[in-house]
Amino acid sequence: MRFALEVRRGRDVAAEFATSLEKEIKAAGGETVDPESEPDMVIAVGGDGTMLAGVRKALAYDVPVLGFNLGTMGFLTEADPSSLKEVVGRLTAGDFETVDRMTICATVDQVSTSGVNDVVVEKIDSQRLVELAVSIDGVDFTTYRADGIIIATPTGSSAYSFSAGGPLVDHSLDALILTPVAAHSLFDRSVVIPATSEIAIRVARDRSVHVTVDKNDLGHLATGETVIVSRGPQAARFVSLTGRPFVELVKSKFELG
C-alpha cells in the first residue's frame, strides 16, 4: 500500500513520530509517497487541524484517511500513537473498514470549496455585530444579529459549532447544523435540517464578513452579497479500526462517568 503523510508542522513530537511511522510502514511492506503522488491512503499525524488537512488531500484522490492523535481532543483521529505497530500492520494487511461522512460546500461568486467540518460566516470588525439574512430552500428564515453563523456537518458538530452552543450530532448521520455565534436576537438556538437543504446567507447590513471552509479562507462578502451552503458533492472516507459507537467516543473524549 502507498501512504501519503500529512504531518503537523512546527511540532518536534509530530516529526519524530512521522519518522517512526515511515520506518514501520516500510518494515510492513508498505510505501510512503510524495504528497503529489497518488496514494492508496492518507495518514494524518497531529490533532484535528492536521486531520482536516489530511481529509482535503484524501478527497482530492478519493482515498481513505486515518489520523494518529498527537493533539488534545482528537475527535477526528482514530489511532493512538502507542498502537503504531499494530495499526500499520492492520492497514498494510487491509484489515480495516471505511466509513463515509458527508462533506459541506460553500459557493461564493460561482467559486465552490468543500470541507468536512463547517462553513463559517463571521464579522471582520471585532467591535461590531453583523446582520445575516438566512433563507433555507428558498424560504426566508430569519435575520441574525450576531458575531457570525456556523453551518456544520455532523462531523463538525464537535468542533466550533459545539463551542458556540450547538448540539453534538452522531457523525454517521446526514444533516446540516446551523448555529449562530453570540446572537443578539430573540431566536438564538441551533437548527438541524436535512443534508439535502440549501442555505443562503446574505449580508443584510453594511458590515463586511469573511467566509471560511474548515478554516480555509474563501473571501469577504460585502452588503447584499451571498454565500450558498449545501452538502458537498463527495463523501469523505474515514478509516475505522474500532467501530466504536458515537456515544462511546463522546464519553471517552469528555471523560464522562
Q: What is the pLDDT of residues 117-155, one digit of tens each?
A: 999 999 998 888 999 999 999 999 999 999 999 999 999
Q: Which three cell numbers stand for residue 107?
A: 459557493
> Whole-model pTM?
0.92
Residues 115, 117, 122, 127: is their CA dihedral positive or negative?
A: negative
What's residue 187's pLDDT?
87
What is the rounded CA–CA span in Å between residue 229 and residue 69?
A: 30
What is the rounded CA–CA span in Å between residue 125 and residue 147?
A: 9
Which ranges of the chain have pLDDT less than 50? none
What's residue 257's pLDDT?
73
What's residue 244's pLDDT?
82
Q: Which of 12, 34, 40, 48 is catalytic?
A: 48
**48 belongs to the catalytic site:** yes
CATH number of the 2-101+235-253 domain: 3.40.50.10330
Identify the architecture of domain 104-231 in CATH: Sandwich (2.60)
Q: How many CB atoms lie within 10 A of CB 20?
A: 14
- Each domain of the chain, given as residue ranges in start order, spans 2-101+235-253, 104-231
What's residue 225's pLDDT?
97
Q: Decide whether 2-101+235-253 matches 104-231 in CATH topology.
A: no
What is the rounded CA–CA span in Å between residue 156 and residue 79?
A: 19
